[in-house]
């Protein structure tokens, strides 16, 4: 019986080493009080640093990086783009295959108005649990659609769907030429049937925003669209500057840069 058990365990080892059996990690940050920078687990920070991924900017500078996840359209992205254009604020939009095929005019407008388009995968799978081959297909298919639509090849930022990742996934992303981008601020804004109004969005953002924040917002939120202009104006009054992810990456070598 003991010999049979040992043989069974040994037979399972190759299976457990398959990509889909590698333990996934769910990204999360720990908000701080009084607009102090968020923190996360040292293990996560170490992994992200190893594979040149980011989740927060320089916490000694009052810079903010707006990022939007776009899985599908809910009627508010044009409003968000209107505000960004009026306020002259750059943003990064992480899009899926569905969004780029269904909302090609919006993607073209984003590019025309100077925003960055990031890769959110083609079909929004858990990138930590699919094979290496499938992983590469998910990213390449989205990038090809982006290039065919815009004529550009500058898709270099990746956001894992649902924030689920693994060391293997981070490594693959880097090998494919991407900087994986997580976030240091977010709130539950993506539930269409639980929108609570622009004031709620405004207070949620203003309560937790902090220097160096990479903000995750969802373009399906009416609350975000309603609050965005006011958020930008009032944060600028507090001395904040809205920067692009390109700016963030260009200033990584600054001695005061804090992860």
Cα separation, 200 vs 27, whole angstroms: 24
Cα separation, 39 vs 210, whole angstroms: 11
Tokens of 235: 């944060």
Cα separation, 14 vs 66, whole angstroms: 42
Cα separation, 54 vs 99, whole angstroms: 24
**If 0-12 CB within 10 Å is exposed, 13-18 middle and 19+ buried, where does residue 163 land?**
middle
Helix (H) or strand (E) holding 49: helix 42-50
Phi then psi for residue 207, to 5 deg, are -70, -30
Tokens of 216: 């995750």
Catalytic residues: 69, 218
Nearest CA-CA partner of 88 in 58, 62, 66: 66
């Amino acid at each position: 019986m003991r010999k049979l058990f040992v043989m069974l365990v040994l037979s399972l080892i190759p299976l457990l080493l398959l990509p889909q059996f590698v333990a996934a990690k769910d990204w999360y940050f720990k908000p701080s009080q009084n607009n102090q920078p968020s923190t996360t687990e040292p293990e996560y920070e170490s992994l992200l640093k190893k594979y040149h991924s980011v989740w927060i900017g320089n916490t000694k500078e009052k810079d903010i990086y707006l990022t939007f996840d776009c899985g599908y359209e809910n009627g508010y992205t044009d409003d968000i783009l209107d505000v960004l254009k009026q306020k002259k604020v750059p943003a990064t939009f992480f899009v899926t295959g569905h969004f780029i095929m269904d909302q090609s005019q919006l993607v073209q407008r984003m590019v025309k108005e100077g925003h960055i388009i990031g890769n959110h995968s083609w079909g929004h799978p858990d990138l930590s649990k699919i094979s290496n081959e499938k992983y590469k297909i998910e990213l390449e298919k989205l990038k090809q659609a982006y290039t065919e639509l815009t004529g550009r090849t500058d898709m270099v930022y990746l956001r894992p769907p649902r924030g689920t990742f693994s060391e293997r996934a981070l490594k693959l992303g880097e090998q494919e030429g991407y900087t994986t981008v997580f976030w240091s601020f977010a709130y539950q804004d993506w539930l269409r049937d639980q929108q609570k109004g622009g004031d709620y969005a405004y207070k949620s953002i203003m309560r937790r925003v902090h220097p160096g924040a990479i903000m995750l917002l969802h373009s399906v939120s009416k609350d975000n669209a309603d609050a965005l202009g006011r958020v930008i104006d009032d944060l600028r009054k507090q001395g904040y500057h809205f920067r692009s992810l390109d700016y963030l990456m260009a200033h990584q070598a600054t001695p005061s840069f804090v992860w």
